[in-house]
Structure 1
Amino acid sequence: MPDASRFPRSSPYWPVVSHPQLRRVLPGLAVSALGDGLAVVAVTWLAIQLVPHHQQGTWIALAMAAYTLPSAAGTVVFGRWLRGRSGAQLAGWDAILRASALGAIPLAHLTGALSVWLYVFLLAASALLHSWGSAGRFTLIAELLPQRHHLPANAVLASIAGFATIVGPPLAGLLIAWVGPVWVIAIDAATFAVLALTYRLALPANGGPTRDESGASRTAGFAVIRQSPALLGLLVLSLGFFFLFGPVYVAMPIHITDDLHASATLFGAYYAAFGVGGLAGGLVAGYLRGWPLRTTTIGIVVAFGVALLPLGLGVPVGVSLPAFALAGFIWAPYMSTSMALFQRSTSVAQLPAVLAANGAVLVLAVPLGTMLGGPLVGAIGARPTLLLCALAIVALGLTVGAIAISRRSSRLPDDAAVTAVSASR
């Protein structure tokens, strides 16, 4: 146990928050994350205001999809030019594009030119480099910090995002009531401008090591993953995990209204509990750096499915609500541990393309699962859908774990093997 008298220097997060360059970037990341938290509500609310009532459902879905899904296409379209760029460059360019495209929305509103079609187009444009921007943030960590600090640094990013998802939506509600959703999107654009300026001023002008990737394929990141059983298995695990959670977004509100005969207040309480649990779990993630990362990542999937079971079993709210908070606590470290596995299993030169490819696949997983949720709930009901999702997630984790154990008998343990590879570089 760390010596409490030496806190915070004994914390695994101290080397991250005290790093001379990262400590200048983290405030910009926090501001931008808060802007994204605001956008979760504002993007939907502006779509509602731009279309007639009978078209709102369709355009809400299109707006939310446009704000995320084009990043998958951007991974392939821009792969030839962006693969091999430094983490700061990738993250900075994503921030510039987001600030510009989102900033055009209030400008179009002021000139009277903002239609719902232009709105969705600008949202889609803002998302084109999102997978590369996310890859850039985690690549920057790999460039600046030794391997032992990667997991705590990833956990810092996850905690910032988790805090923003708790604070951002209710704050957005207050701001929308005051100034309207278009100006909340303007605030989101301004936060990305702050982030872009932060990358420009806080890091060296060269943005990190330069890497020659001339002639690189647009799909090089996918090729690297395909050729590595460890990375491919991790991607399949993440894809299945996120996909199987997708129907929960459909089943949860219907379960609360139809099965529990409760109001939106209880629905909000469940997600608040999940968010608080997620924030706590994100803070704990940095202390898992001594654990075997691959085993921990698989264990998170199994444990999350188990924590989700009470919802599907129809237990009283007094039990299922804390269980959902526990699910959030378990869920939170997943991105930190999985990103740490990518960081230690991939060279810094290949890491941006690999992480962008991973992000492009995962950004599709939850929407596809959510789309499945509609017919699934219609066919078997909300509570059985929640139970099926929980059982399927447990089965996924156990299956991947069994495969990992069977492969481990014929080679070095996963973390030991990675350490040996890293030491030979």
Structure 2
Amino acid sequence: MKKIKPFMVERNFLILMTGVFINGLGSGIYSVAGMLLVFNLSGSVLYSGFAFFAITSAGALSFLIAPLANYARYKNGLVYSNLIKAIILFTIPLVHYTIGLNVWYVIILLFITALFTQYTYPIESTILPIIVGKDNVVEANSYLQTIREAMDIAFIAGAGIIITFIGTIPAISITAVCLVLVTISYAFFNFQQPDISREKSHSIGSAVNFYFIDLRAGFNYIRNSLVPKMIFSIVFINIAMVIMTTNLPAFSLIKGNGIEATYGFYLASISLGIMIGTIISPKLRQINFGKLIIITFIGTGIMWIGASTLPLIASMILFCIGAISIGVLNILVFSSIQKQVETAYIGRVITVITSAAALGMPLGSLLGGVLGETLSPEIPVMICGISMIIFSVFWLCSSVLRKLPGIDRVNLFKNSEMA
């Protein structure tokens, strides 16, 4: 029998796990209900594009928001930000049952709650080493990530069924209640937060100066590395993915003959594919990274082109298989960064990368909305599949990217000059 690791029964880790579990339930329902609510209020794929634009714009701003986590107690940041998100979401049913909802009101709230998520996510990542200790951080992080993705599959699929029976407004109320429960759970944290090594600022001006010093540090650290060369590829993938996901609510309703639960099933199939990619990625570490990406993303393109044309069941299966490459890419790149970047810079470097990668997503949201409104939702899904093949051809034509060795042997900072 496998022995339970001590950190798994540590009080603060159990609290974090409880919060992650409840958050998974709430966010699974919210991710389905929010987009369906926008689509139902507007009846237009174009407004779905506006909603995705709002959400992805918040992601693109994460490099500005994440450093703010260092200027408050971590526990207070988690507690109050989740409480504010709950209050914001409670206004949706309140407004709906009183003066009536406007689609733009919902889109603005989606943007604001996404901003708070960009603030809380780096805090959860930062407190993990404090809670479990540096020796256990990789194992604890892997354990949490697998649980998160497994819950995503169950909760997103379940969300589609729940919304079919109770509707989008009550479903969003469930998410708000979940956030209240997360707030209460995190209020019981008792870990010791280390002091931030910087001079105490006595003015707004000096605080702003420290903030921008932190911000520049992340950019300077990767400036001369291989990372910026790979960001373009990630931006291209994200644009293609958002063009597809913007149209997924309408696409799902077409494939499912108007059954709203189908949208949750499609999101769950993508999550399942990403989880499979996450699980198998350690076994692929020794394969040349360049060739691995070229082959897997050509497969993804073919699968998603097929998913756009085939009936419901076959379409969801191909969606799942095609998403495996996304999970592989995410884990291998993230693992490489964890191994090679100094501990003090990991949070900032990952934030810079994710923010840069998100820069193209607002454009993809608007483009996806226009394409879905002008043509039909199946066409943007097919375009996403074609884009994955184009991405593979780009890597194939680049000798630097094509010849990248196994991810453990890729030297991200070969040309960098670290102080």
Query: What pairs up with 1:49-198 in 2 under 5 angstroms?
Result: 59-73=47-61, 75-76=63-64, 78=65, 81-83=68-70, 91-92=78-79, 94-109=81-96, 112=99, 115-143=102-130, 144=132, 145-146=134-135, 148-149=138-139, 150-176=141-167, 181=169, 183-198=170-185
Separation in 1 of the partners of 2:269 and 2:354? 25
Out of 389, 392, 399, which is 1:394 matched to?
392
Separation in 1 of the partners of 2:79 and 2:288? 34
String of CA shifts for 1:125-170, please: whole Å, max 9, x gaps.
2222322322333334455454642444433333333433222232
Question: How many residues are matched?
Answer: 397
TM superposition shift of 1:316: 6.3
Separation in 2 of the partners of 1:45 and 1:315? 22
Corresponding position: 1:332 with 2:327: yes
Helix, strand or coil at the partner of 2:211: coil
Corresponding position: 1:24 with 2:20: no
Helix, strand or coil at the partner of 1:239: helix
Helix, strand or coil at the partner of 1:247: helix
TM superposition shift of 1:243: 1.9
Matched residue type, 1:102: L
For 1:3, the equivalent position in structure 2 comes to none
String of CA shifts for 1:51-88, please: whole Å, max 9, x gaps.
6x67x555544344434533433642x46633576876
For 2:202, the equivalent position in structure 1 comes to none
Corresponding position: 1:201 with 2:188: yes
Separation in 2 of the partners of 1:30 and 1:125? 22
Separation in 1 of the partners of 2:410 and 2:190? 34
TM superposition shift of 1:189: 1.9
* Length-normalised TM-score, structure 2: 0.72
Out of 11, 26, 33, which is 2:24 matched to?
33
TM superposition shift of 1:309: 0.6
Separation in 2 of the partners of 1:241 and 1:364? 12
Out of 179, 198, 211, which is 1:212 matched to?
198
String of CA shifts for 1:272-329, please: whole Å, max 9, x gaps.
3673463365267356447538956983574143133144369866876543321233
Matched residue type, 2:177: A
5+ residue gaps, structure 2 = 200-206
| Mapped contact 1:281–1:332 kept (Cα < 8 A) | yes
Corresponding position: 1:312 with 2:300: no
TM superposition shift of 1:185: 1.9
Separation in 1 of the partners of 2:276 and 2:189? 25
Q: Which structure ranks higher in relative contact order (CA pairs < 8 Å, sequence separation ≥ 6)?
A: 2
* Length-normalised TM-score, structure 1: 0.71
TM superposition shift of 1:94: 4.1
TM superposition shift of 1:187: 1.9
Structural RMSD (CA): 4.7
Separation in 1 of the partners of 2:304 and 2:269? 18
Separation in 2 of the partners of 1:379 and 1:275? 26
| Mapped contact 1:87–1:352 kept (Cα < 8 A) | no
TM superposition shift of 1:38: 1.4
String of CA shifts for 1:8-63, please: whole Å, max 9, x gaps.
86xxxx687556533321222121122122123332454467x6x67x55554434
String of CA shifts for 1:181-236, please: whole Å, max 9, x gaps.
1x322221222222233333235153x56343861317436514642524324433
Moved more, 243-252 or 266-275: 266-275
| Mapped contact 1:297–1:338 kept (Cα < 8 A) | no
